[in-house]
A and B are shown apart, each in its own frame.
Chain A
Amino acid sequence: MSSFLSMKMPILLVLPVLLASLLACQPDTVLNNPYTDADSQQTVLYQSFSERPKHLDPAMAYSENEYAFIAQIYEPPLQYHYLKRPYQIIPLTSTNLPEVVYRDDKGQALPSDAEPARIAFTDYIITLQPGIRYQPHAALAKTEQGGYRYHHLDAQAIAPLKTLNDFASTGTRELLAEDYVYQIKRLAHPKNQSPIAEIMKNYIVGFADFAKQAKDLPKTAIKGMSLAGAVAVNDHQYRIRINGKYPQFIYWLAMPFFSPMPWEAEVFYNQLGLSDKNITLDWYPIGTGAYYLAENNPNRRMILQKNPYYHPETYPSEGEPEDRANGLLKDAGKTLPFIDKVVFTLEKETIPYWTKFLQGYYDASGIASDNFDQAIQFTGTGGLALTESMQAKGIQLQTAVQTSSFYLGFNMLDPLLGGTTEAARKLRQAIAIAIDEEEFIAIFMNGRGVAAQGVLPPGIFGFAEGQPGINPTVYDWQADKAQRKDIEVAKQLMAEAGYTNGIDPKTHGPLIVYFDTTATSVEDKPRMTWYRKQFEKLGIQLVIRATDYNRFQEKMRAGNAQIFAWGWNADYPDPENFFFLLYGPNGKVKYGGENAGNYQNPAFDRLFEQMRNMDNTPERYQIIQQMQAIVRQDAPWLFGLHPKQFSLFHSWFGNLKANLMANNELKYRRIDTAARADKRQQWNRPVVWPLLLAGVLLVLLILPAYQAYRKRTQQTLS
């Protein structure tokens, strides 16, 4: 020990000093780069994900975080135009938009303006572009004799495999119409548990019967089975037949559910033993899209690589008028995609995620509440802008109101707040006025939201701007903006409903209402307190009934909730996708539908039935306004807010335009890698002087101890 103290300790102390000196001599060294140098040879985009996707099978995936991956890989026949607004459907793998043929109950073709009542079926005839090829994949690898190389693997061949990349050979083949038909059959097979299977039973002809037939058969058996509503006409054309008229079906054709699936993939992945290695179709997609999944480790990193066989597709040459000025048409006509590789890293915590963004190691970021003040400041006019530190880094801010609606729902089956009586309606209206959504947005969302005036969010056909679009039950139009009505108006409504000053005439005490929620954590407490205070304005006592998710869902299904918070994110940009949430036959308690508040109004239902099958015409617009007026008056929802998405992008990130409908936007994006490398170098220079300081301090601390020890050991006994 004494030799240790006398010899090794000074060496150890000198080490940090040496290291620091070494680093100080190399100012260009970047030590904190989390990526490998090999990436600098390619155009790589770095993104993160906070939750691993549950499914990557297009028959099953339905979440935003799953679409972030599979929408780059799988290609349905249609897609949304990247730049044009309102959102416009355009061909992706098809040559044109589908040919739509209406047919009567005898199968005879009808004119395009036929009465909806006469239309028994609608045919969507889709013609594919020839020559589109799948990504390189082991399922398509063939032997020299022409057989599939990996379709008959034995246990010995499977044993050494760890990932799909361990297969030595890959192959490709042309995309065929049969692949789209095969995928529709997969949607119907109960073993695939597609979340849209139950909806499609109502639309695609023969879908329900097919599901019954396939129920006990293996997944691969569907290849030889026929589905009346989905037929391949030839190699490049297929037809989908749906019941009646359902114009919104075209939007479904732009969703990954309707992507092609080669039968070879299912045969390959269903071999015994591969699932034990997590080599499944749910985890290793096979598509024709701009990218393929080159690495799949959902607990660490997912890597998309440019598909070498990607079919010719070019950047749009048209957009909104301001797109040219914003530089969004500079790449018009150029071949997609621009980025070679996309690295998604799992980042669960906000602190390292935000730090990496500021260091330039992530190219884009959202803004968590903790970092909001660091990123955004309020301008003198009440608007929001980037802070000076963000501006100094050249960071770009992009905002967009999401096509989502969050609301407080009233259970219309509840004896107090529900029903169509005048008293209940006035009580709901009073509560709607009292709960100050603008304040909620300011306090709890840092201003990132827009108070809702009705069912529809901005950007959806039927949404009215300005005075015609306000909710007259809750707002007045004053000084060119919607102004929430005075609380006295709400109190007056309470009095008219029979609850003067919030007193319940039956109990002679304050009226008690119940708010059912899953907000059980400590972080939710301020929000719940805020709600209580809003109700107190009317003298109402709000009781928070916070339960876990399962119990809450049970209450909702049984109709035992009174007031609840709910939300809806658009599947597609059509008003039908929002108004169906209030359609009577979709009631949750009676029919198990998505109408969580169990609202039922015959006049509204009639208008909905009329509106849902219409094209976007002025007549449809008028009907939508009538429907809005009915629900504003009935107040089955307390229209809450439409969240506003704030995204930050570094200066080297190009072709940025928020598209809330398209999920395949990565192929349009561009990265200036040279500018990024410069900035990273500039922002991540190692700071070494604290190491030197720490070394000196350590010496100063240890020296007295060392001296004391020496003194003690050399001391003579007296």
Chain B
Amino acid sequence: MIAYIIRRALYAVPLLIGVNILTFVLFFIVNSPDDMARLQLGQKHVTEQAITNWKQQHGYDLPLLWNDQAQSGQQLTETIFYQKSVGLFWFHFGISDSGRNISADIRERAWPSLAVALPSLAVGLWVDIAFALLMVLFRNTYLEFGGLVICVILMSVSSLFYIIGGQFIIAKLMCLVPISGYEEGFAAIKFLLLPVAIGVFAGIGSGVRWYRTLFLEEASKDYVRTARAKGLTETQVLFRHVLKNAMIPILTGVVVVLPTLFMGSLIMESFFSIPGLGSYTIDAINNQDFAIVRAMVFLGSVLYVFGLLLTDISYTLVDPRVRLS
């Protein structure tokens, strides 16, 4: 397995270089270093000299990808691309164009994002699986049909509607929890109740339908018939056998998102004033802060690759037939 992991890690290197080049090209097609300087310096009294100073201070006074003026290897290294990208592979994200340390910002903002995302995922998974199993338990009845209709309705509604509706009913009309805000430690619970509840509720429709499909597929297999023939009750069949055997596709969906959980959710964090990473990249794009954009895209790519690797490894844990080679 170690050889497999090393090989996958090495595969990731050209992939990450490619992502980095793509981010760089796309960003600088839209923004020039002069544009970035103007946006950072504000709208009043911005002179050419001030722009030159800004570029010099932030290392944007070099050519983008190739330096004709430099000698040999420096033609590649004395460029914005090299100077701004090489540190990423050591996870040195450096200083943002507005002057803040990016790694420190990510460390600080990741925890609140995780505080929302992790319980939402865990509770959501539990609720979705429970409802899906109940629907399988009552399959071919009006209860299943009704449940399916409700699921389709729930998944057809925008998540923004759940957020606004939830805030209106629970926080404004009923005054049960603060409408937005955040605190450190256990004091965060009262602020997290509503976003987590809404996150779970908004995911029920699609989640339940997806897990129901997985369970139904398992429920029609021979070993289930054997289990029933042995005299097991329907709930024993579902929880002891069907659930366990449906774990592989469930893991595929869950493990791959685990590493990216701390990247946060833009809308949820924005509406509930959760000081997470959700808006970090979008704000950076709006502020033309290339340092943050490249760092976050790079980090996102690394985490996605890592998530896929984790998924592969998790298969070996739940299914003894799977061997990584």
A10 neighbours in B (Cβ, 8 Å): none
Other-chain contact of B176, A31, A278, A297, A548 (Cβ < 8 Å): A31
State whether B30 touches A548 (Cβ < 8 A). Answer: yes
Q: A276-B101, A688-B174, A705-B143 are in contact. Are A594 and B182 (CB under 8 A)?
A: no
B241 at the interface (CB under 8 A from A): no
Q: A31-B177, A190-B53, A276-B103 are in contact. Are A592 and B47 (CB under 8 A)?
A: yes
State whether B175 touches A199 (Cβ < 8 A). Answer: no
Among the stretches B12-20, B64-72, B272-280, B309-317, the one at the interface with A is B272-280
Closest CB in chain A relative to B308 CB, distance in Å: 30
- For B42-59 the 0/1 string (1 means CB < 8 A from A) is 101111111001101100
A276 to B233, CA, bound (A): 60
Among the stretches A173-181, A350-358, A477-485, the one at the interface with B is A350-358
List A residues 593-639 near B (Cβ within 8 Å): 594
List B residues 98-154 near A (Cβ within 8 Å): 98-101, 103-105, 108-109, 112, 134, 137-138, 141, 143
- For B193-225 the 0/1 string (1 means CB < 8 A from A) is 000000000000000000000000000000000
B270 at the interface (CB under 8 A from A): yes
State whether A351 touches B164 (Cβ < 8 A). Answer: yes
A36 at the interface (CB under 8 A from B): yes
A374 neighbours in B (Cβ, 8 Å): none
Closest CB in chain B relative to A709 CB, distance in Å: 7
State whether A347 touches B175 (Cβ < 8 A). Answer: no
A42 at the interface (CB under 8 A from B): no
State whether A62 touches B42 (Cβ < 8 A). Answer: yes
A283 at the interface (CB under 8 A from B): yes
B143 neighbours in A (Cβ, 8 Å): 704-705, 708
Other-chain contact of B40, A31, A54, A275 (Cβ < 8 Å): A54
Other-chain contact of B45, A199, A278, A345, A708 (Cβ < 8 Å): A199
Best-buried of A63, A283, A550, A712 by chain B (most CB within 10 Å)? A550
B239 at the interface (CB under 8 A from A): yes
Q: Is the interface of B mostly helix, strand, loop or mixed?
A: helix
A346 at the interface (CB under 8 A from B): yes
List A residues 167-222 near B (Cβ within 8 Å): 190-191, 193, 195-199
State whether B141 touches A687 (Cβ < 8 A). Answer: no
- For A244-286 the 0/1 string (1 means CB < 8 A from B) is 0000000000000000000000000000000111101011000
A685 at the interface (CB under 8 A from B): yes
Among the stretches B31-39, B77-85, B246-254, B295-303, the one at the interface with A is B31-39
Among the stretches B1-9, B165-173, B255-263, the one at the interface with A is B165-173
A40 at the interface (CB under 8 A from B): no
A277 neighbours in B (Cβ, 8 Å): 101, 104
B227 at the interface (CB under 8 A from A): no
B141 neighbours in A (Cβ, 8 Å): 708
State whether B105 touches A278 (Cβ < 8 A). Answer: yes
State whether B176 touches A345 (Cβ < 8 A). Answer: no
Other-chain contact of A63, B32, B42, B174, B238 (Cβ < 8 Å): B42
A62 to B46, CA, bound (A): 12
- For A692-718 the 0/1 string (1 means CB < 8 A from B) is 000000000000110011001100000
Q: Closest A-chain residue to B48, C-beta based?
A: A592
A704 to B171, CA, bound (A): 32
State whether A550 touches B30 (Cβ < 8 A). Answer: yes
A129 at the interface (CB under 8 A from B): no
State whether A352 touches B191 (Cβ < 8 A). Answer: no
B137 neighbours in A (Cβ, 8 Å): 1, 709
Q: A34-B191, A275-B101, A687-B173 are in contact. Are A355 and B95 (CB under 8 A)?
A: no
B87 at the interface (CB under 8 A from A): no
B304 at the interface (CB under 8 A from A): no
State whether A300 touches B175 (Cβ < 8 A). Answer: no
A280 to B101, CA, bound (A): 10
- For A544-575 the 0/1 string (1 means CB < 8 A from B) is 00001110010000000000000000010000
B238 neighbours in A (Cβ, 8 Å): 1
Other-chain contact of B38, A199, A301, A349, A553 (Cβ < 8 Å): A553
State whether B181 touches A348 (Cβ < 8 A). Answer: no
A198 neighbours in B (Cβ, 8 Å): 45, 47, 49-50
Q: A36-B187, A275-B95 are in contact. Are A359 and B57 (CB under 8 A)?
A: no
B235 at the interface (CB under 8 A from A): yes
A474 to B281, CA, bound (A): 47
Q: Closest A-chain residue to B180, C-beta based?
A: A352
A1 to B232, CA, bound (A): 12
Closest CB in chain B relative to A565 CB, distance in Å: 13
A688 neighbours in B (Cβ, 8 Å): 174
B179 at the interface (CB under 8 A from A): yes
Closest CB in chain B relative to A172 CB, distance in Å: 26
Q: Closest A-chain residue to B95, C-beta based?
A: A275
A55 neighbours in B (Cβ, 8 Å): 98-99
A348 to B233, CA, bound (A): 53
A283 neighbours in B (Cβ, 8 Å): 100
Best-buried of B53, B104, B273 by chain A (most CB within 10 Å)? B273
Q: A62-B44, A550-B30 are in contact. Are A351 and B271 (CB under 8 A)?
A: yes
State whether A347 touches B42 (Cβ < 8 A). Answer: no
Closest CB in chain A relative to B25 CB, distance in Å: 16
B42 neighbours in A (Cβ, 8 Å): 62-63, 195
A545 to B57, CA, bound (A): 34
A88 at the interface (CB under 8 A from B): no
Closest CB in chain B relative to A711 CB, distance in Å: 11
Other-chain contact of A36, B134, B167, B183 (Cβ < 8 Å): B183
B172 neighbours in A (Cβ, 8 Å): 355, 359
State whether B50 touches A349 (Cβ < 8 A). Answer: no
State whether A300 touches B182 (Cβ < 8 A). Answer: yes
A30 to B108, CA, bound (A): 30
A684 at the interface (CB under 8 A from B): yes
Q: A687-B175, A708-B138 are in contact. Are A594 and B45 (CB under 8 A)?
A: yes
List A residues 485-528 near B (Cβ within 8 Å): none
A96 at the interface (CB under 8 A from B): no
A571 to B42, CA, bound (A): 14
A398 at the interface (CB under 8 A from B): no
Q: Closest A-chain residue to B53, C-beta based?
A: A190
B319 at the interface (CB under 8 A from A): no
A395 to B234, CA, bound (A): 62
B183 neighbours in A (Cβ, 8 Å): 36
Q: A553-B38, A686-B175 are in contact. Are A1 and B235 (CB under 8 A)?
A: yes
B40 neighbours in A (Cβ, 8 Å): 54
State whether A356 touches B45 (Cβ < 8 A). Answer: no
A36 to B179, CA, bound (A): 15
A529 at the interface (CB under 8 A from B): no
A504 to B45, CA, bound (A): 38
State whether A34 touches B44 (Cβ < 8 A). Answer: no
B156 at the interface (CB under 8 A from A): no
Closest CB in chain A relative to B104 CB, distance in Å: 5
A193 to B58, CA, bound (A): 11
A299 at the interface (CB under 8 A from B): yes
A379 at the interface (CB under 8 A from B): no
B178 at the interface (CB under 8 A from A): yes
A234 at the interface (CB under 8 A from B): no
A709 neighbours in B (Cβ, 8 Å): 137-138
A21 at the interface (CB under 8 A from B): no
A33 at the interface (CB under 8 A from B): yes
B236 at the interface (CB under 8 A from A): yes
State whether A355 touches B179 (Cβ < 8 A). Answer: yes
State whether A348 touches B176 (Cβ < 8 A). Answer: no
Q: A346-B273, A550-B35 are in contact. List 13 more A-B contacts (CB 8 A).
A: A34-B180, A62-B42, A62-B44, A193-B41, A277-B104, A300-B182, A348-B273, A349-B270, A351-B164, A351-B271, A352-B171, A550-B30, A708-B143
A-B pairs, 10 with minimum CB distance: A1-B235, A300-B275, A34-B178, A34-B181, A352-B180, A550-B35, A198-B47, A299-B275, A687-B174, A352-B179
A-B contact pairs, 10 of them (CB 8 A): A2-B233, A34-B179, A197-B50, A277-B104, A301-B275, A348-B273, A349-B271, A355-B172, A549-B39, A691-B174
